[in-house]
Amino acid sequence: MQQGSWDKVELSIQFHAMWLIAVLILVLALLIFAYADTKKPHDFPPGPKCLPFIGCYLEFKKLMKQHKFMYRTLNIYHEKYGPIIGLRLGRRFLISVSGKDAVQEGLSREEFDGRQRSFMVDHRTMGVRRGVIFTDGEEWKEQRRFALRNLRDLGLGKRSMESMIREEALELVSRLTEMGKKAGSEGVQMEKVYTIPVLSSLWTILSGQRYSQEDEKLKKFTGLVTTLSRLITSAGIETVEEHKKTKSDGEPRDFIDTYLDEMKKRDGEASYFSGLYEKFSFKNVWSSEGQLIAICDDLFGAGTETTSYTLAFGVLFLLHHPDVQAKIHEELDRVIGRDRFPTLDDKPNLPYLNAVIYEIRRCCNIVPMTVPHRCVRDTEFRGYTIPKEASIIFNLWSLYMDRDYWGDPHVFRPERFLVPDESGGWKLKDEPSWLLTFGLGQRRCLGEPLARASLYVFFSVISHGLRFKNPPGCPLPSTEGVQGFVAGTGPFKAVVEPRF
């Protein structure tokens, strides 16, 4: 072979060797990176092994498919690794906290009060973070304080609120009586019957207007809320517009007026633009109606399904436990009689009914875990390091189902909340801190007073007026929730009879 040809061969070998070395270096770098990617941060809570790049995503997905609910899936890990576990899902860290002490401590830590950003949630407010559930930092603190203070001033947690809820409960008794008559032994479809009345009472508090439960506008809005169309709803925009036309400055009639007054105080009329985007733009929190509508949206979203599904679960448990229903009726007849409906003043005299509400809250498990929190800075927690930006879920279900505390957590037994009193009757125990249905700390439920009043007023009025039975020949409906924004009941029917 000639010298030139040899040179070419040599060059080609050198070229291929260089490529080979580059590929080998790349593969080696990838292997080192992949190996390093299986490591967790120092003092990270225990949890399943990480695969490179995807963490434990595949295993988690498989377990979720098997156990259906996230809290159950996490519980599998808790049984294996203890009360604080750390998972890496893709590039993200997820911490789950279970057990009373750890949950209470975690919920009280200010470092865990953040929220993760979510494209879906931001989308409803045109890509900007607004509202109260999914915001954090100073803006969240200010908006939360404002909402709490003004809702309180407008009646949240006060007597006036009772009459609003009571009106809804009484209308529901009439509607259910009619529906029960029509349906006969076939039974009334129950899982959604509380949604409109609960939404209606919230609507009255926020907007000052009351619609009949048959009103088409209310039904349309209920549809939007229950399908979780978390967009700026046309109903919300319309209502804000109506308020702007009819309000007198400094004389708020409801939450929307109060908010509009505050906006004016902070930012003048500058935001009252004509185009939709500008009108609901989110440059400055107080300079547009966008934040107001996002808060209302949050209150409807967080307040409607939680309360109405707890009440629907109440009916479901009564179908399973006719003896409990009979005891409620006995107490109501003895304490209230049949000439009037119970009121908030009667609450201390109805220990059994209150114990049943506690037990419904414990067993229905509609909010088994808090909304994910976000760790705002690297934090030392119970011997572990929780990295900044990790999501943290507090497993409330672990408290409701603690065998050591409750003894028989899977049994529906309201008597666990009662103690004998001096006169041979029953007295309600103080609400145990194990029943953390409304969360704790700075992120605690903002609507708790309304939720508590709604549960009591609806449950006592409905139980006073009506009796529920399982339709003859039908299997009892499952008490297991159906996964959604909150874990509601599945579809079920009940025969509804007026008691007198």
Pick from 75, 195, 306, 391 the residue near ligand HEM by CB under 6 A.
306
Per-residue contact flags (x/-) with ligand HEM for residues 268 to 287, judged by CB under 6 A = --------------------
Q: Is 367 in the site for ligand HEM (CB under 6 A)?
A: yes
* φ, ψ (nearest 5 deg) of residue 95: -110, 135
Q: Is 310 in the site for ligand HEM (CB under 6 A)?
A: yes
CB of 268 to ligand HEM, least distance (A): 28
Pick from 103, 133, 188, 461 the residue near ligand HEM by CB under 6 A.
133
> Which residues fall within 8 angstroms of residue 497, CB to CB, at 6 or more apart?
180, 466, 467, 468, 469
Contact positions with ligand HEM (CB under 6 A) in 191-210: 202
Alpha helices in 336-437 (DSSP H): 351-364, 397-400, 403-406
Name the token pair of 408.
């028989």
Pick from 303, 342, 414, 481 the residue near ligand HEM by CB under 6 A.
303
Name the token pair of 233.
């709803």
What is d(CA 260, CA 256) in angstroms, rounded to the nearest whole number? 6
What is d(CA 339, CA 345) in angstroms, rounded to the nearest whole number? 16
Q: Is 222 in the site for ligand HEM (CB under 6 A)?
A: no
- Placement of tokens 């790049």 in the chain: 53
Pick from 447, 465, 481, 488 the residue near ligand HEM by CB under 6 A.
447
Residue 445 annotated as binding site: yes
SS3 state of residue 419: strand
CB of 395 to ligand HEM, least distance (A): 11
Cα 403 to Cα 74, 217, 410: the distances in Å are 18, 47, 9
Name the token pair of 477.
């409906």
Nearest CB to ligand HEM, comparing residues 354 and 370: 370
Pick from 50, 225, 302, 461 the residue near ligand HEM by CB under 6 A.
302
Q: Tell me which residue has its CB nearest to ligand HEM.
A: 447
| Secondary structure percentages of the chain, helix, strand, coil, to 5 | 55, 10, 35
Residue range at the interface with ligand HEM (CB under 6 A); choices 58-66, 182-190, 212-220, 294-302: 294-302
CB of 203 to ligand HEM, least distance (A): 11
- Tell me which amino acid residue 57 is: Y
Contact positions with ligand HEM (CB under 6 A) in 113-132: 132
Query: Partners of 466 in the beta sheet?
Result: 498
Nearest CB to ligand HEM, comparing residues 51 and 435: 435
What secondary structure does DSSP assign to 204-241, as a single string?
HHHHS----TT-HHHHHHHHHHHTT--S--HHHHHHHH
Pick from 73, 258, 307, 365 the residue near ligand HEM by CB under 6 A.
307
Residue 101 near residue 435 (C-beta atoms within 8 A): no
Residue range at the interface with ligand HEM (CB under 6 A); choices 20-28, 89-97, 228-236, 300-308: 300-308
Alpha helices in 268-288 (DSSP H): 276-279
Residue 350 near residue 457 (C-beta atoms within 8 A): no
Residue range at the interface with ligand HEM (CB under 6 A); choices 298-306, 325-333, 336-344, 417-425: 298-306
Nearest CB to ligand HEM, comparing residues 318 and 367: 367
Nearest CB to ligand HEM, comparing residues 299 and 353: 299
Residue range at the interface with ligand HEM (CB under 6 A); choices 163-171, 306-314, 374-382, 464-472: 306-314
> Which residues fall within 8 angstroms of residue 259, CB to CB, at 6 or more apart?
146, 150, 292, 295
Nearest CB to ligand HEM, comparing residues 413 and 443: 443
Query: Cα 482 to chain center, whole Å?
Result: 14
CB of 371 to ligand HEM, least distance (A): 4
Both ends of the chain: CA-CA distance in Å?
Answer: 113
Contact positions with ligand HEM (CB under 6 A) in 14-73: none
What is d(CA 458, CA 25) in angstroms, rounded to the nearest whole number? 69
Q: Is 451 in the site for ligand HEM (CB under 6 A)?
A: yes
CB of 76 to ligand HEM, least distance (A): 22
Nearest CB to ligand HEM, comparing residues 109 and 264: 109
SS3 state of residue 415: helix
Nearest CB to ligand HEM, comparing residues 289 and 297: 297
Contact positions with ligand HEM (CB under 6 A) in 465-494: none
Q: Is 350 in the site for ligand HEM (CB under 6 A)?
A: no
What is d(CA 388, CA 376) in angstroms, rounded to the nearest whole number? 5
Name the token pair of 4.
């030139």
Residue 442: DSSP 8-state: G
* φ, ψ (nearest 5 deg) of residue 284: -125, 130
Contact positions with ligand HEM (CB under 6 A) in 427-446: 437-439, 443, 445-446
Q: Is 293 in the site for ligand HEM (CB under 6 A)?
A: no
Annotated binding site for heme: 445
Annotated binding site: 445
Interface with ligand HEM by CB under 6 A: which residues?
132-133, 144, 202, 298-299, 302-303, 306-307, 310, 367, 370-371, 437-439, 443, 445-447, 450-451
